[in-house]
Amino acid sequence: MAGMAGFGTGTGSGTGVITTCGSTGIIWNQWVSVTSASQEFTFTTSTNTAASSAIWVNWSGRGSYVIPETYQQMHVDSRSVSKREIRREIKRMAVRTRQVRKITERPKRKAETLLLKHLAREQRRTWMEKDYFDFSVESRVYRIRRGSVGNVELIDDAGIVAKLCCHPRNVSSLPEADVAMSQWMMLKYNEKEFFRLANFHYQRPGYRSAA
């Protein structure tokens, strides 16, 4: 097997030859100073020899030199930050969190109000108490659960027939009530298109909708 610059090549008899390269690093110089160029050494897989132990001592002893300067700077900076500055930063983060929550909660409340306005009394009750509402399209009954993905179910008296996954784009940025409203309206007024786009996960083998 051909050797690579800076690495030993095995001879098949348990010995090897150290070759040098153009590296001027401190660790490499320590390695070379222990083994010397072209010096044979013995290596085994079960025990450390005197040469390999000496190499390791020098390698590990100089390990601190290879710590990146940026990491060392980060370490020093983090230790120099005062407790007062840390408390001040925590307070700023808490204020920012409350501001973001306030911004996101308003559209959620508006979406919830709009959905409840269009639901029937029983649908409102189950949505508020159990996080779902049922509705019919011709002879089929659907259940939309609070959520965004895979939250539509085709059901019958025996339970869930299939789970459907179809939702607006950028769904993660939309209030759950808006997602439920869009799924409801599409199933109600364009069921076939909903079926065409949706991923079906049938819960009963052999069942296929007539839609």
Q: Give pLDDT tens digits for 10-60.
A: 444 444 443 344 444 555 555 455 444 444 444 344 444 444 445 444 444
Same domain for 84 and 110, yes or no, is yes
Answer yes or no: is 8 within a domain.
Answer: no
Residue 94 and residue 141 in one domain: no
**What DSSP state is assigned to residue 98?**
H
Domain match, 122 and 166 both: yes
Please tell me whether residues 143 and 85 are part of one structural domain.
no
Which residues of the chain have a pLDDT value below 50? 1-24, 31, 34-53, 55-76, 209-211
Rg of the chain over all Cα atoms, to the nearest angstrom: 34
Within 13 Å and on the Cβ side, how many CA atoms surround 147?
Answer: 15
* ∠ Cα 187 191 196 (to 5°): 115
Structural domain boundaries enclosing 56: 14-66
**Same domain (yes/no): 156, 194:** yes
Distance CA 79, CA 13 (A): 52
Domain count, the chain: 3
Same domain, 150 and 105: no
